Amino acid sequence: MKQKTVRIILICLSGLIVCVLLLTRSLKSYNASQGYWEAEIGNAGPHTVLTLRLTGGEAQPWHRVIVFQNIGAEAIQASKFKLPDEAVQMPGARLTFQDITLRPGHVAFVWQGHEFVMMSNWLRVDGKEYGWDEQEVIMLVD
């Protein structure tokens, strides 16, 4: 009787372990398909422009354009950065928070004295929230 009980427990545990492994693998696959945050530095006339977007995978076409009126276009070289992975390569940026357990996740960083917090349902710039579906340009002046 004891051997039968032990055998049933071992079979159940083995099945449970297989289920957990399959679930973990499927979540990783799902996570990889969800895209990632990207920051692109460029210029618009005499001003520096930061474009934040969700890219990769089956990502929504979300993006917001932020114009820095106090930073000349020649001050910063145009480039793209995958966030949060490449945030340290962004000149003058400091990553303050990241949780990408489920992509695209929650990423927060400070750049040029302004705080940016990105989540899938909103973008927060210096404490003010903006929806990803709103496409007006965000103007920042110090």
* Structure confidence by residue, pLDDT tens digits, 49-68: 999 998 876 556 678 999 98
| pLDDT, position 76 | 75
| pLDDT, position 63 | 86
Give the number of residues written for the chain.
142
pLDDT tens-place string over residues 92-101: 899 999 887 7
Average pLDDT (71-91) is 84
* Helix (DSSP H) and strand (DSSP E) numbers for the chain: 1, 10
Instruction: Indicate the domain borders of the chain.
Output: 36-140
Banded pLDDT at 75 (limits 50, 70, 90): low
| pLDDT, position 73 | 63
Which long-range contacts (C-beta less than 8 Å, at least 24 apart) are formed by 52-59? 52/116, 52/118, 52/123, 54/104, 54/120, 54/132, 57/32, 57/33, 57/103, 58/33, 58/34, 59/34, 59/35, 59/104
Whether residue 61 is preceded by a cis peptide bond, meaning omega within 30 degrees of 0, is no
Banded pLDDT at 39 (limits 50, 70, 90): very high
Average pLDDT, the chain: 84
| pLDDT, position 58 | 59
| pLDDT, position 95 | 93
Taking the C-alpha atoms of residue 91 and residue 121, their distance in angstroms, rounded to an integer, is: 27
Higher pLDDT, 75 or 20: 20
| pLDDT, position 23 | 76
Which long-range contacts (C-beta less than 8 Å, at least 24 apart) are formed by 57-61? 57/32, 57/33, 57/103, 58/33, 58/34, 59/34, 59/35, 59/104, 60/35, 60/132
Higher pLDDT, 80 or 47: 80
